[in-house]
Structure 1
């Protein structure tokens, strides 16, 4: 049975598509593309249909990671039924995801990305849309995706 992972941030143009692309790359490198499906979404609707942010694309290009065909979409209640893991890039988006799911929350494991990196002492992946720190976000995403792959393989 395939495992399905969804990354969620606010607009789905910076953090969650970066995590989607990095995680997909790690899944491919591990030879697990036939077993793990990866996607991303945003809790907001401002960027639906847009490609990843220029800063995200630059970091992915620098690291040889493809983002071909990626377009922003909005998180929906149906995502809970469609995915096994919903990985929220910050605590605010985790609250929003849980609010959207409400009592309909099902079997998906909802977690924050930084819970994968507790030693960093940071609760949220900072939003580079506001900070411009795409390189720092990439560093966090790369490390967290390694841990997430281990977590997904154990389930």
Structure 2
């Protein structure tokens, strides 16, 4: 089982959008039996809450389910429980590096590290920018590229 955790600041906008998109993507590729997918936030402000209403609106617009998703806070154990911990920005990476005690099992990278365009450095927080369309486009591009990398890393083919 390949375990992927998406991380942002509060776990109500970017990381749940990425979790929902990635879930749908692996479902379409018939790979759901190979994956466990989750999301978490660095902070605890929104624990137990559903994704932000504008995130839900964007996902609804795209026909992507977020059923049952609730915000949670990341903990140090997640860095060993997951194979890929995918952050949305440099601050998330800095916070994850402070959280870990030892070298984690997980590959810890930004989602934009998987996008071939070097001019894209991070996924902006739409809670502050209001740019949910831009965030969705970056999440989509990053998740597609992430899945291709994971398929290479684990010799997976769609439909297996």
TM over 0.5: same fold? yes
Q: Does 1:98 align with 2:89?
A: no
Q: Match of 1:38?
A: 37
Deviations 1:81-115 (A, max 9, x none): 1100000010100110111013x232110001111
**The residue matched to 1:119 in structure 2 has which SS?**
coil
> Is there any run of 5+ residues in structure 2 with no aligned partner, and where?
154-160
For 2:83 and 2:73, the matched residues in 1 are separated by: 17
For 1:130 and 1:118, the matched residues in 2 are separated by: 26
> What TM-score do the two structures reach when normalised by structure 1?
0.96
Q: Match of 1:11?
A: 10
RMSD after superposition: 0.9
Structure 1 stretches (4+) deviating beyond 6 angstroms? none
Q: How many residues align?
A: 153
For 2:116 and 2:127, the matched residues in 1 are separated by: 24
The Cα shift of 1:53 comes to 0.4
**The residue matched to 1:34 in structure 2 has which SS?**
helix
> What TM-score do the two structures reach when normalised by structure 2?
0.93
The Cα shift of 1:152 comes to 1.1
**The residue matched to 1:124 in structure 2 has which SS?**
coil
